Chains A and B, each alone.
Chain A
Amino acid sequence: KQEVTQIPAALSVPEGENLVLNCSFTDSAIYNLQWFRQDPGKGLTSLLLIQSSQREQTSGRLNASLDKSSGRSTLYIAASQPGDSATYLCAVDFNKFYFGSGTKLNVKP
């Protein structure tokens, strides 16, 4: 059975810090990996999609890397802001998506 694990489960930091969120998965045969943001009571907002053949993707202050051989992905958030506070979900596409349990981020002003 495919498993996706995210650490830490929760993170609270002061504004301005650079952050690293971690995602690990048990099978290297993936189609792609996607990072999402979810605000309380809301749906998913896609942040970055990394195809199987890629090693990283960048969008603004966000950078996501993918290392299939080690089964890991990291989401790097630069210069965090209070508006970044949300739950961040890692989803791995093994021909169907399996989600990690998420990292709940709180950025304090």
Chain B
Amino acid sequence: GAVVSQHPSWVICKSGTSVKIECRSLDFQATTMFWYRQFPKQSLMLMATSNEGSKATYEQGVEKDKFLINHASLTLSTLTVTSAHPEDSSFYICSARDLRASGGRSTDTQYFGPGTRLTVL
């Protein structure tokens, strides 16, 4: 299956600093990628939809100025947590939508990255 990578896999930073997380689709092009956040003992919550070449769409309650998303190419989306605080500590997971055609049929499958664990001290 398709592979989606995330970098870094974990990061520890001081309060007030900014952290950038990368999400890459390794063997397919993804016009749409998604960013999720998972707090301890909770499920994944969609934060935003990242669209290549246009602005991201944020879910209700997610601050767009705090969580900057850039989808600069068809294989890369980045999430920057600006002025991070301890309450931003979480597990961040991205996914990429694969819309390739195969054998005359189109597929629409999302592949998930391995996640990035952010700890803000």
Question: A: which residues have CB within 8 A of B?
Answer: 31-32, 34, 36, 41-44, 46, 49, 89, 91, 93, 96-102
Mostly, the B contact residues are: strand
Mostly, the A contact residues are: strand
B23 interfacial contact with A, CB 8 Å:
no
The docked-state distance in angstroms from the alpha carbon of A22 to that of B24 is 32
1/0 per position for B79-115, CB-CB distance to A under 8 A? 0000000000000010100000000000011111111
The docked-state distance in angstroms from the alpha carbon of A100 to that of B114 is 19
Q: In the assembled complex, how far is the CB of residue A49 from the closest CB belonging to chain B, in whole angstroms? A: 6
A43 touches B43 (CB 8 A): no
Per a CB cutoff under 8 Å, which of B42, B46, B113 touches A97? B46
List residues of B (44-66) whose CB comes within 8 Å of A's CBs.
44-46, 49
A97 touches B43 (CB 8 A): no
Interface size class of chain B, counting residues whose CB lies under 8 Å from the partner chain? 20 to 34
Per a CB cutoff under 8 Å, which of A31, A42, A93, A99 touches B43? A99
Q: Within 8 Å CB of A36, what residues of B?
A: 112
B115 touches A43 (CB 8 A): yes
Q: Within 8 Å CB of B1, what residues of A?
A: 46
A-B contact pairs, 23 of them (CB 8 A): A31-B108, A32-B108, A32-B109, A36-B112, A41-B117, A43-B112, A43-B114, A44-B44, A44-B93, A49-B109, A89-B44, A91-B44, A93-B110, A97-B34, A97-B44, A97-B95, A97-B110, A98-B46, A99-B36, A99-B43, A99-B45, A101-B42, A101-B43
